[in-house]
Structures are given as C-alpha cells and as structure tokens.
Structure 1
Amino acid sequence: MTGTGYMAGSRAPGTPAPPSSERIPVAEQVAFRARRAVVGDREVAATVVVADSRVVAVDPYDAEVADGTRVVELAPDEVLLPGLVDTHVHVNEPGRTEWEGFASATKAAAAGGVTTIIDMPLNSIPPTVTVDALRTKQDVARDQSWVDVGFWGGAVPGNVADLAPLHDAGVFGFKCFLLHSGVDEFPHLTTPEMREALAEIASFDGLLIVHAEDAEVIDASVSPGGRAYADFLGSRPREAEERAIRTVVDAVRDTGGRAHILHLSDADALPVLAGARAEGLALSVETCPHYLTLEAEGIPDGATQYKCCPPIREHENRERLWQGLADGTIATIVSDHSPSTADLKLLDVGDFAQAWGGIAGLQLGLPAIWSEARRRGHDLVDVVRWMGRNTADQVGLHDRGRIEVGATADLVVFAPDERFTVDVTALHHKNPVSAYAGSELTGVVRQTWLHGTPVDTDAAPRGQLLRRGQP
C-alpha cells in the first residue's frame, strides 16, 4: 500500500541509527536510550541526546554518553516519538472558559503526546480578529500552558485591514467560514469577501484556512430535528463540502494565494483536491481522528456526543479517507478539539439539530489513530508524519514533530501495544463528554517531555507562547 511500510534502503527496526554528523556543544545532557525510536522516516534503535531544550545528537543505541549525562532507558515495550503538533484546537478562553481553558487543554495535550497546539480564533470572546484580541488571549494563556501554544487569527467581514497587523504580530494564518460559524461573534465570509481576504493574505504570503461547507447547500438541506442521526447527516450533505472546496480552489488559482481546507469529512472531494495539487496550486487539506475511526452506521440515534460539522460519514467514506492519507492527498491529521459543557450537548434530549457540534478529542487523538492505523498496516512513522512533522511544517515550525539534531527536545514515551478503555472522568478535558467514551484503544502515552524536561502537571507550567517566524 502506498505510504505504508519502510522506505527503500531503510534499516529494519532494532538496527542502530548512524552516528550523528553534527553535535552541539553543551554542558548538561539527558540521553534517551530507545530500542525503538521514530527518527526521520525510519524506526530505529537509537540514543537521543538532548540539552538546552534541543536535540544535540542522535547516536546508535549502544553509544557511550558523556560523563554526567542523565540516562533515561526506555522499557522494551516503549517507543520514543517526537512530540506531536496539533494545529486545530479550540481552547475557548477567555469568554467560554467553562467549555475549556488553556490549563485544562494543555494538560490534555501533554497527556496525549501533543507538545505544541495552535489555538483557533473562535470560540473565545473576543475572537482573535484584531491585534488587541490576540494580546488578550496571549495574556490569559501565558502562565497556564503546559505545552507550547501558538495562535491563528480570524478573517471575518470588515477586518481586511486587520490581517496584515495580525500577521506581523505572529499569528500562523487566518481562519474563515463559508457558512455560519455557530457563534454570532465570528461571522462567515461570502465568496467575494473570502476572495478579498485571500488576495490580501497573499500579498504578505500568509495562509488562509477554511471551514469549507457551502451555505446555500446547507440552507437547502434543513434538518427536521430530532434524535435520528440519519436526519442530521442528511442536513450536511457531501455536496456542501465539494462545492465550497471548488470555490476555494478557484480563489487560490485566481489570487495566487495559499489556502488550507480544514477537517475534511467528504471523501468525494478527494479528486478535486488531488487535481488542485497536480495543478501546482498552494492548497492543502487535513482530516481528523473522528472521521478516520468512527462511522455513521455505528452512531446511535440521540447520541449527540458524536455531533460535529462537517459530520462523521459512512463506512465506505471513511475507507476512502484512509486511502487519501496513504496516497498523500491528505497530509495532516488534527484533533479539531471543539468541546463544550455537557448541557450544550443536550444528551438527555438527543436532538442533533439543537445540540452543540464538536468533538473533544485532544487527549485521545494519538491512540485513536494508532489503533486504526496499525490495523491497516501503517506504522508509527506514518502516524508521526501525519500528526507531527507535516502539521509542524504546515505552520512553519520546522524544528518540531521530528527527532533530529537541532530539533526541539519535545519527546514522548509511547507504549504502542498497551490497551486501555476510555474513561471520560479520567481525561484532562474540562467537561467529561467524549465520542470515545467506553472505547478500547491501543497505545498509551507514559511520559511527555517538553524542552528536555518531563511535563509535571503538579508543578508550574512551562509552555511557551509561539509566534510565526520566530527563530
């Protein structure tokens, strides 16, 4: 299968990595000895040495280490991974902190092997559509983040003049909707407004990220409401994604801008996206764990914990999304962590039309994807590429999501064969609602290291605020 297995010429697991060709002089060091480590595009046995928040050497497993080096020996059932990078997280603070906040979200991230998140410009109040709003969000995040945090800006009607200042202030790009966003303070763009924003963003080589569902198609597919998941699914038809994606493709072609399609759920759109890539357009696409691991046929009526927009579709659609990952049409997997309080899910009523739409999955993305990926013949190299290296590269954080000399010393000790049953009350997410409640998943994060130091949620948080283009 394309995109799976080991690349030609690579070593089999357990054979030594080659000596590092570059070293950084340091004083205090920690050496991770791992019989299995994901290094580049291979899984190898290695000793990974870190100091001063960076990886300073990648050596063979049995390499000698300098005197005074602290040695962390991984157990035989553990794999050393780079910290993952989740570029699609709704933290919601300030304004809706009862839904989630930086403290709870970043603890959940660390517990799930994610060491960098990029926060969406909604559903916080104020939304991140001006520099002042960005400063407000940075102020509340600064002293309560257990992992590193960056920020997206927003593109809404009337804020074209704010886009360049937000870019200069360090946002990683700009999110827009092509239909109602779900919250009134973050209105959607019409097609002409989206094209105007994309042209402005192209003028400084920024990135527009798009919730791509067409408003007219959705408005013509009104749900009757109620408990039937089939009715809700019918209210968010595949055509809505396809038409909106074609609108974005045309805008990218005409403006020369860069755009990214968020949370793809419709596999029918894959040929359009592959065609845009073949044309050389600067267009990329992501999908999410819930679209790759869940399916409409398994969602009971009234189970509004599964509601998200665009929706979880049928089994055959899920299979084709996996093929889109395997052939490279889809480059990244992100959580789209979009939590709310339990009452907004209307779990007692089960009305899909009225319940809040969003999946809280930040802590569970890695085991959910690994559980499904391994069954399909994919390996941890693939998972790290989709959830670490490619997500980091998308936002220009080229020293993250990988284990190599000079990379950030963000590391994860992962037990890929250990199974667990999801207990929502044990998650760090602020509200105990999850589409994965009661599911048995494979793969446990046993320890997460940030900047070369283990994350300790009982100690003071050490996460840093990130900005685009920082060294």
Structure 2
Amino acid sequence: MSFDLIVRGGTLVTPEGVRRADLGISGGQIVELSEELTAGGPEVDATGLHVLPGVLDAHVHLNEPGRTHWEGFETGTRALAAGGATSFFDMPLNSSPPVLDRATFEAKRERGEQKSLIDFGLWGGLTPLNLDRLDELADCGVIGFKAFMSHSGLDEFPAVDDTALYEGLKTAARLNLVVATHAESDNLTRHFTEQARTGGGHSVRDYLGTRPVVAELEAVQRALLYAGELGARLHLVHLSSGAAVAMAFEARQRGVDVSIETCAHYLHFTDEDVEKMGALLKCAPPLRSQAVQHHLWDELLAGHVDIVGSDHSPAPPDRKTSENFFALWGGISGAQSTLNVLLSGGHHGRGLPLEAVAALSALNPARRFGMQRKGALATGLDADFVVVDLGHEFELTELYDRWKQNPYLGVHFKGLVQATYSRGRKVYGQGQFDDSVRGQLLRPGR
C-alpha cells in the first residue's frame, strides 16, 4: 500500500490524547494513524513538531460580494490559512446584499467557490425581513441562522425584536438548525448610547459605558428562555463575560440546547488596551476589564466554553478614522491569530491543554454544526491539519488580511504555524500559498 502523503514523526493532538504517530493520507482523507507507517509515498517530516486538527473558524465576516474592499474571500482565507484554519463559516453580513434568501446565498456561494483557499460554510440571516425565507435558506444548505438582538450597524440587516426571535427559533427548531445570536439588549444599549451622546460623549470610555455586561446578560437570559421553551438549538456568539458563560452553562445543565462561543480578542485584550489602541479594538460587545476577563478564562478552563472563533470583521481605514469613537466601525481583524492566542494562553499566559485547544478550535464546532468529516485527526475524516512548532516563540509581523489594521501586530506568540493542509494539500507554508487550491462548500450533515 502507498499513500498520497505521509506525515512522519509528529506529535499528534487527537481526541484520544497527544501521541507521537505518523499520518497516512489518501484521497484527501486520513486513512491510517500508526506509530510507524511502513508503506511508501511522499513524506512530510514533522519530527519535533506538533500536528493539530485544522482550525474551523465558525465566526468570520468576509463581506463578499458587495463589500469586497472591506474583506473578500481571497485575502481573508489567506489570513485564515496562515493562522492554521482549514475551514470557516461566513456570516450573512456585511456582504451587500446580506444572505437573506436563495439568490443572495447563491451569489455568495459562487464567490466562495471561485476564490476561497479553504472549505467554507455560509450562515443565513434571521431578521424581521425574511422570516418567510428560512425554509428556503435551509434548503440551500446554510449552517444555521444568525440574528442580532441589538443594532447590527447595517440598516439592511435589522435586529430581531422579541416576536421575530421567537418565531425564528420556532422555525429553526422545526428545521433542526442552529440560531446564532448576537446577545446584547437593544433597549439598554440604545438608552445608554443616547444618554452618552446627548451629554457630548465621544471617547473610548464613553462608548464602553454604553454596552455594560448587564446588557449582555439580559439578552442571553431572554434567548435562553425562548430556546428552552421551543426546544430550539441556540448558539451564543462572542460572549464577552464569564457571567454570561456561566448563565448559559447553567441553562445547558437544565436541558437547554445551547452552545457557547467566545472570541480570541476577549481572551487576549482588555478595556485598557482599547484606550491605548483605539479603533483597532472597537467591537460589540466591547472588551472588558481585567477582572471580567479573568472570570471568562476561569469559565473557559472549567470547560464551560465550547468554541473560540475570531469574529474577523475588518473595514477600510476611512471607517476606522474619527475623533468620535462612536462613529468608528466596530470590528476586529483577527483571522490569523485565534490558534496562537489559545496556544499562548492569552496575554497572561493562562495554560490550556493541547486537547482543549483542539476541541475549542476544531472538534467542537465540527460536532455542533454537523461537519461529519471535519474537526479531528482520525481515520475517515478529511486530512485537515496544521503543523506547529510549539518551541518557537515569535513576534507577529506578517499579515495577510485585506487591510492589515490588526491589533495582534507585534504581539509575541507561542507556536509558529509551519504549514496548513486542507484535505491533504498544503495551502500555506512559510509565507507561501498554493493558489491553485479551492475550498468546497460545507453543508451541515443533518
């Protein structure tokens, strides 16, 4: 027997544990794991290196078509691959038009298949405008439905009120699809924003004060209540506080079908960094105090967080330039750094076992969203993996996203990505990309 590719001598991070073994790959799949493969084939020497499952980033904004100048599939997927990602799910905004029906889904799917370096799935939108199109989107193969419980920043993607959220969850439960919610109270955030702006507020601290943790908690509680009542599958995106994670985890203990996501920037940066770096770190929910971040890390280390994504959401420089912090586009560029934040343990070096890193970045999103051939180094699954030198500490100096306005630039990380393989083909290695590779559309295997 011969293989299309053999990865020899690496330390593999598998669901069963970390062990030294060889990987045998044929037809884009892992077909054998063994302490020493005897068959032949082209080889990659991974001696002294770690091999992890490729990152599945479930929360990315690539904005194509319509706002490709913000971020498109070509540059966005290069950044993802350089950071160890082999697949991702794209959010239904900020492309123009957003993905709210079959036509807009097909337009984005076509662009992805033309330009994406790695495999991709597409979220569909859940807004008051398209409640009658959710079946249509499900038939297209969306990963699930994304809803905002506060203003999205784009008028063409309005927030759900209580009725729209309830009806959307009800439909999604019938379709057995997940509803992902941006959980911040629209009433509270609008009220605090109006108060601040009326008083002349325009600073970083003024903005941070308009989106307190209580606004997140109120929305999380409401979404959990509806999902529990309806038997719906809920996914809480980018939770910024340990208190919100604890609330969601407690609901899951009671039987609510909820998955919990946070993002790398909440684990690495705090509100003090926003004051230093400004526009690069504006996001919603905002970055929190060090005490809140410590609680978030405690919840993560306790196993209460399921998924860590990037929420990569760039914008052109003119949208990131203003003396008024409220006027700046809210979105952080981070597609390239999620794996490194987890390997490095955030700014304060909180240690995560490698099995937990692999679960948070690959296995858990694959399982939650029905990616039956993704997420782990195991026979029968796609040969999606990243080769990492854990002994190599480095400063991030080379960026591959569209605008390179990136808060991680200059950060010192642990674990240099040596190469990223998608279905057995090397898409990235040592600053070079194989632009002949194209990703495939992923649909949930339900």
> Structure 2 residue aligned with 1:400, among 374, 392, 395?
374
Q: TM-score, normalised by structure 2?
A: 0.94
Distance of aligned partners of 1:332 and 1:415 in 2 relative to their CA distance in 1, 3 Å threshold: same
Letter in 2 for 1:233: L
Tell me the equivalent position of 1:319. Answer: 294
Tell me the equivalent position of 2:57. Answer: 86
> Structure 2 residue aligned with 1:296, among 247, 259, 271?
271
Structure 1 residue 118: Cα displacement:
0.5
Structure 1 residue 431: Cα displacement:
0.4
Unaligned runs of 5+ in 1: 1-25
Residues 1:340 and 2:311 are matched in the alignment: no
For the residue of structure 1 that corresponds to 2:275, the secondary structure is: coil
Structure 1 residue 401: Cα displacement:
1.8
Q: Is the 8 A contact 1:296 1:312 kept in 2?
A: yes
Task: Tell me, in whole angstroms, the C-alpha distance in 2 between the residues paired with 1:375 and 1:34.
Answer: 28
Tell me the equivalent position of 1:384. Answer: 358
Residues 1:447 and 2:419 are matched in the alignment: yes
Letter in 1 for 2:207: F
Task: Tell me, in whole angstroms, the C-alpha distance in 2 between the residues paired with 1:365 and 1:226.
Answer: 33
Tell me the equivalent position of 1:71. Answer: 43
Task: Tell me, in whole angstroms, the C-alpha distance in 1 between the residues paired with 2:181 and 2:7.
Answer: 40
Residues 1:459 and 2:446 are matched in the alignment: no
> Structure 1 residue aligned with 2:388, among 411, 414, 417?
414
For the residue of structure 2 that corresponds to 1:466, the secondary structure is: coil
Distance of aligned partners of 1:400 and 1:344 in 2 relative to their CA distance in 1, 3 Å threshold: same
Unaligned runs of 5+ in 2: none
For the residue of structure 2 that corresponds to 1:232, the secondary structure is: helix
Task: Tell me, in whole angstroms, the C-alpha distance in 2 between the residues paired with 1:384 and 1:271.
Answer: 22
Tell me the equivalent position of 1:30. Answer: 5
Distance of aligned partners of 1:218 and 1:70 in 2 relative to their CA distance in 1, 3 Å threshold: same
Task: Tell me, in whole angstroms, the C-alpha distance in 2 between the residues paired with 1:399 and 1:430.
Answer: 30
Tell me the equivalent position of 2:32. Answer: 57
For the residue of structure 1 that corresponds to 2:192, the secondary structure is: coil
Alignment deviations for residues 124-153 of structure 1 (CA, whole Å, 9 cap, x no partner): 011111011000111111121110011000
Tell me the equivalent position of 1:171. Answer: 142
- Give the number of the structure whose residues are more often helix, by fraction: 2
Task: Tell me, in whole angstroms, the C-alpha distance in 2 between the residues paired with 1:351 and 1:268.
Answer: 30
Q: Is the 8 A contact 2:142 2:444 kept in 1?
A: yes
For the residue of structure 1 that corresponds to 2:76, the secondary structure is: helix
Structure 1 residue 466: Cα displacement:
1.6
> Structure 2 residue aligned with 1:109, among 72, 77, 80?
80
Tell me the equivalent position of 1:128. Answer: 99
Task: Tell me, in whole angstroms, the C-alpha distance in 2 between the residues paired with 1:298 and 1:159.
Answer: 38
Q: TM-score, normalised by structure 1?
A: 0.89
Q: Is the 8 A contact 2:118 2:439 kept in 1?
A: yes
5 Å matches for 1:78-227? 78-222=49-193, 223-224=196-197
Structure 1 residue 271: Cα displacement:
3.1
Structure 1 residue 159: Cα displacement:
1.3
CA RMSD of aligned residues (A): 1.7
Alignment deviations for residues 182-236 of structure 1 (CA, whole Å, 9 cap, x no partner): 0111111101110011111111211111000001110121134766322221111
For the residue of structure 2 that corresponds to 1:382, the secondary structure is: helix
Alignment deviations for residues 32-82 of structure 1 (CA, whole Å, 9 cap, x no partner): 11341102241110011111010001111xx2421x422211142x11111
Q: Is the 8 A contact 1:306 1:435 kept in 2?
A: yes
Letter in 1 for 2:404: P
Task: Tell me, in whole angstroms, the C-alpha distance in 2 between the residues paired with 1:179 and 1:106.
Answer: 28
Deviating 4+ runs (over 4 angstroms): none
5 Å matches for 1:232-311? 232-300=207-275, 303-311=278-286
